[in-house]
Amino acid sequence: MPAKKVKCIHCGTLVDEFVTECPNCGKPVANKWAPTKVSEAPWKWTPAKKKMNPLIPVAAIAVVVAVAALVYLRMIK
């Protein structure tokens, strides 16, 4: 069974059915709603300036420990 060819919706080039990007224009072939401007490579991303509050995981652990302690205290009564 020969590979089915589909037309690139952007430039009309016939491309293999299952390729995701047109070799001619480099845009996504199948989904015309897909963004044609792909994001930059990850190593070009600027690091996020807002860091996660370091207190949040600590607080979550404290809550878990507190609940576990309460359950434990109820069990040994």
Distance CA 16, CA 46 (A): 35
Alpha-carbon distances of 21 from 29, 42, 50, rounded to whole Å: 5, 19, 34
* Contact set with Zn ion (CB under 5 A): 8, 10-11, 13, 22, 24-25
Residue 11 or residue 64: which is nearer to Zn ion going by CB?
A: 11
Smallest gap from Cβ 37 to Zn ion, in A, equals 14
Residue 26 or residue 57: which is nearer to Zn ion going by CB?
A: 26
Residue 7 or residue 63: which is nearer to Zn ion going by CB?
A: 7
CA–chain centroid gap for 31, Å, is 18
